[in-house]
Chains A and B, each alone.
Chain A
Amino acid sequence: MRRYDPDTIAALAEGRLDPERARELERAIAADPIAAAELADHRLALAATKGAPSPMLSVDERAGLRSAISSALGLEAPLRTTTGRAPRRVPWAAVTVAALSLVALVAAVPLANLLSTGEDAAAAPTFGAIEGYSTTDATLPSPSDTAALPTDGLDAPAAADFAGTEAATTTTTKDTIRVAAADPEERSLLLEAFDAASIPPDRAVEPDDDTPCVALGREDPGGTPLYTISFTAKDDATIVVFYTLAEDGSLGTAIGYDAIDCSVRVSYP
């Protein structure tokens, strides 16, 4: 005959009992080989399942799913990928739009100097600071390309870094800007990347309704015109930034959200 009901053993294994009751029960069960084995089974199974990674659709599968559903339903306009719980590696439209803007990188608005994450800002961020990083789905201009870009209002040191460093060459590969704001070191990288991604007002991209977190961006920082840019962080989170420019073309306000859950990652002021 069972001395312990299955609910109690499961509750103990799941950690749902108060500590005192749990200790007491644990001691008692240890003396009952059948119950002890059952408890061990629960714990082994729970340990395996609780930490199990979740399967995710690949980008192609996600697109294929929408296409198939749209086709099966005879929808005139195919279903689009939105950001409700999009996978972190899906390059949504805004990434592409923002990334394309990076093609026109010049240092008219040195964002990084101004963005604050509550940590010490990166000292004298330069383009060289993001050596090894590159843009999403877009190619940064090579030093020779920069000659063709407008230079009005260029911040001189940043422009020099942009045009003259080896980093500028190494970042011409198609890849992802690998920045993050999870710890001070990564935050500084993020800030440096912002600096490197300074965009002239005439090349800035305005968000549209498909831009992740756009509703929040329109509230804070708000203002018009509102611009957006985005990066993929080291943890694969896509950071979408909304910013406004002051009358003199410098950064007015900015806020960066994790595109998945719209939590704030960086802000200015």
Chain B
Amino acid sequence: MTDRADQDAALVERYLQGEMAAFEELMAAHEDRVFGVCLRMLRDREAALDATQETFITVFRKADRFAGRSAFSTWLYRVAVNTCYDQARRTRRHPTDPLPESNDPADASAEDPFIAVELRPDLEAALAALPGEFRSAVVLADVQGLALQTVSEILDVPIGTVKSRVFRGRRLLATALGNLPGTSDPHIREANA
């Protein structure tokens, strides 16, 4: 186990013994990465914040279910990814009505969640063009830099499936990067179908 994994395991142990500060440390250590994954999966800053919140609430309530067979971060990412999937499903099922227009000045930071945090709009647009299962695999493996075995545990799919998704995701991403603006590439249309 890495130093970080050891630290996390110790923090979980302390938290389960009632030390709230340990949970705060876990949050501080992982919240940006969880948020980053959620933002790239959901492509909406508010939704990503909600998913990050849900993720840590779940972790808070269910930390005793963390068996320690894998790294805490692996378990945490798994909770986060599943939360994002749930949220995306709920959003598709119950699209929210747009709020009535107000006269408030536009919030520039809300116009593009990626530009607002100085990310690369071209990359984010290309990632957004990927089908969900490819996007999550590429985000976890290539953007977050996680080992394929870890991604396999997070996504709960065989490692061969992860490889396939990552490799195909890279091809789609490269195509999308080459085609922006607009993703008219047949690879992507086919994959999104």
Contact = CB atoms under 8 A, between A and B. Distances in A.
A38 to B, nearest CB: 7
A156 interface: no
A160 B128 CA distance: 59
Given A10-B167, A55-B40, A84-B26, A45 B32 contact: no
B25 interface: yes
Please classify how large the interface on chain B is, using the bins under 10, 10 to 19, 20 to 34, 35 or more.
Answer: 35 or more
A57 B45 CA distance: 10
Contacts of B117: 53, 55-56
B88 interface: no
B123 A48 contact: yes
B32 A57 contact: yes
A49 B124 CA distance: 10
A35 B167 CA distance: 13
User: Chain B binding site: helix, strand, loop or mixed by DSSP?
Assistant: helix
Interface residues of A, number: 39
A68 B53 contact: yes
A61 B27 contact: no
User: Chain A binding site: helix, strand, loop or mixed by DSSP?
Assistant: helix
Interface in A64-113: 64-66, 68-69, 72-73, 75, 77, 79-87
Contacts of B166: 10
B24 interface: yes
Most buried by A among B23, B31, B33: B31
B31 A57 contact: yes
A44 interface: yes
A82 B171 contact: no
B57 interface: yes
A156 to B, nearest CB: 44
A46 interface: yes
Interface of A: 6-7, 10, 38, 40-42, 44-46, 48-50, 52-57, 61-62, 64-66, 68-69, 72-73, 75, 77, 79-87
The 5 nearest A-B residue pairs measured at CB:
A84-B28, A84-B29, A45-B170, A41-B174, A49-B142
Interface of B: 20-21, 23-33, 35-36, 39-40, 48-49, 52-53, 56-57, 60-61, 114, 117-120, 122-123, 126, 138, 142-143, 145, 163-164, 166-167, 169-171, 173-175, 177-178
Given A52-B123, A65-B53, A73-B57, 6 more contacts: A40-B174, A41-B170, A48-B126, A57-B49, A75-B20, A80-B21
